[in-house]
Amino acid sequence: MGSRNTSVLFFAAIALFLFLHFPSQTEATIPAELASKVCAQSEIHSYEICVKVLTANPKSLMVSSAKAVAENALDMARRETTVTSCFFAALLKRKDINPASRAALESCSSLFKQSVTFISLDGLSGGTASLDLHSALDKATLCKSKLSAAHVSIKSVSDKLEQWRNFYSVASAAVYAVENPEP
């Protein structure tokens, strides 16, 4: 009886390995085609970074339509916007922050918190997602201007803004692909 259980477990392990490492042709090609379409329109200069952002959400690997890619991209951009707002709020709690930088950091935290409301699936179904995303970009641009005016030069801040911009760019390109389908 032990030999039979071992054989069954061995077979199940092989089947699981094959399933995980060799997805069906449809599963393997649809996300790549959609990723190519989105990343070609993205403002991100590196295709690899675009794909990395796009596939950061495991759900992105199982989608089969441009709308589903856009929904996932918007969800990820919304989450990254929340994380960015929290990042600025956490910076404000540090004791070593220059008091002259504090107002700009507070403003950025608030602006990103406001931006979360602009990045939603409602805009995708209502046809206003690209306009909503642009409003979020305006808030991020205003944050960057306030940081520049206050002479804030913290590497982690510029890195966080760049990371947010990558998520924004992918979401924007995915929304564009849905709102302007190819003929």
pLDDT digits (tens, 9 = 90+) for 41-76: 777 767 778 877 877 777 776 777 888 888 888 989
Work out the average pLDDT over 74-97: 93
pLDDT of 12 higher than 50: no
The pLDDT assigned to 20 comes to 47
The pLDDT assigned to 124 comes to 72
Q: Which amino acid is at 11?
A: F
Is residue 104 a contact partner of residue 147, using CB atoms and an 8 Å limit?
yes
Cβ neighbours for 112, distance < 8 A, ≥ 6 positions apart: 81, 82, 84, 85, 88, 139, 140, 143, 164
176 vs 121: CA distance, rounded Å: 14
Q: Which of 135, 141, 146, 144 is nearest to 171 (CA)?
A: 135
Q: Which of 75, 61, 38 is nearest to 170 (CA)?
A: 38
pLDDT level of residue 152 (50, 70, 90 thresholds):
very high
Q: Which amino acid is at 127?
A: G
pLDDT level of residue 32 (50, 70, 90 thresholds):
low
Distance, CA of 3 to chain centre: 48
pLDDT of 23 higher than 70: no
Query: Which tops the pLDDT comparison, 75 or 180?
Result: 75
Q: Which of 162, 84, 159 is nearest to 119 (CA)?
A: 84
pLDDT of 103 higher than 80: yes
The pLDDT assigned to 176 comes to 86
